[in-house]
Amino acid sequence: MFVRRIVVAAAMALGLACAAQAAGYPNRPVKVIIGFPAGGPTDVAARILAKHMGEQLGQPFVVENRTGASGAIAVRGAVGAEPDGYTILMGNSGSMSVLPYLIKDLGYDPLTQLEPIGLVVNLPSVLAVPTNSPFKSVQDMLAYAKANPGKLTYASQGIGSLNHIATEWFKLIAGVDITHVPYRGDAPSIQDLTAGRVDMSFFSIVSALPQLQGQRLRLLGVATSKPLDELPGVPTVMSQGVPDFVAEPWNAFLTPKGVPADIREKLNKAMNNALQDKEALASLRSVGLYPMGGSPQDLENYMKSQSTLWSDVIKRANITQ
């Protein structure tokens, strides 16, 4: 009985300490780690949200770019940080749901070593071909691909990039053989696509819009669940014979394992408030970023479903790095 009272008292003391910690949080700057260079979509989203979250919580949210290894270096840094709420990670679909199933001994497991805060934004993808392509629809392209296995080519941002994995999924669903041509990033792949040196590519609407305005590309479809207002007349890929195909890179906030739930709830509330702010929304949409939001549980469920999807594609397509 005496021992039980001690255990109960200790638990109550710990609970009060955690509540006090959350009540005073934050009382110094919060570091936001991202794994990609300044100016990219992940960096832009992190800085827009950091500004508004800092204003709400009364402390600056300072973005720190730790680039390298497709975002894995930043994730490792977050996993090893103190679980006090003063280090948060802007994770992305690649580092959270692709790399763990593509690279052995990656150095982290996002599903067990990180705590969810919430989904931030996604970046809708489009399927593009050169303006002089003979294909006017996804059906046109698939008919040719089925009649001519391996003759068509597609560009990706590199082996293991999300548009590489997503295109392999597209091929699996459609039952076609299209040859992969990997590049080192968006810019060189788009350059060769516009020049007609490759036949097709999936990439973000952010990268697509300048090429469309310059009439250097034609869009066959959007890899979303419904058409986009910004692209009137462009149907979804899934409505053109590729059922269930939705490929939207995403970003989310997470913390190291062990951050008190009250602190994560504070961060989640600030994040959702920022995503509803008119100024923040306008800034995000101006660069092709679509707000998501939701609870920590929503993010946890989403990461599990994405991990199941992409690990299955990696296995079925026999993708190695």
The separation between the first and the last C-alpha atoms of the chain, rounded to the nearest angstrom, is: 58
Cα(191)–Cα(187) distance, integer angstroms? 6
H helices present in 175-290, as ranges: 186-194, 205-213, 261-275, 278-286
114 and 130 in a common domain:
no
Reply yes or no on whether the pLDDT at 159 is more than 90: no
C-alpha distance from residue 283 to each of 34, 47, 77, 180, 289 (Å)? 19, 10, 28, 34, 9
> What pLDDT is recorded for position 320?
85
Residue 10: what pLDDT?
52
CATH number, domain of 298, equals 3.40.190.150
Percent of the chain with pLDDT over 90: 74
Q: Looking at 165-179, 199-213, 220-234, which range is the least confident one? A: 199-213
- pLDDT above 90 for 278: yes
Across 110-118, average pLDDT: 97
Mean pLDDT along residues 135-159: 96
Reference 235, options 226, 248, 244; nearest CA is 226
Is there a single domain that holds both residue 192 and residue 112?
Answer: no
Asked, for residue 11, whether it belongs to a domain, the answer is no
90 and 192 in a single domain? The answer is: no
Residues 137 and 152 in one domain: yes
Per-residue confidence band for 12, with pLDDT thresholds at 50, 70 and 90: low
Q: Answer whether 76's CB lies under 8 Å from 108's CB.
A: yes
Percentage of the chain beyond pLDDT 70 is: 93
Instruction: Please give the residue range of the domain that contains residue 263.
Output: 28-122+249-316
Both tokens of 167, joined, read 């295109």
pLDDT band at 261 (very low <50, low <70, confident <90, very high): very high
Say what the pTM is: 0.86
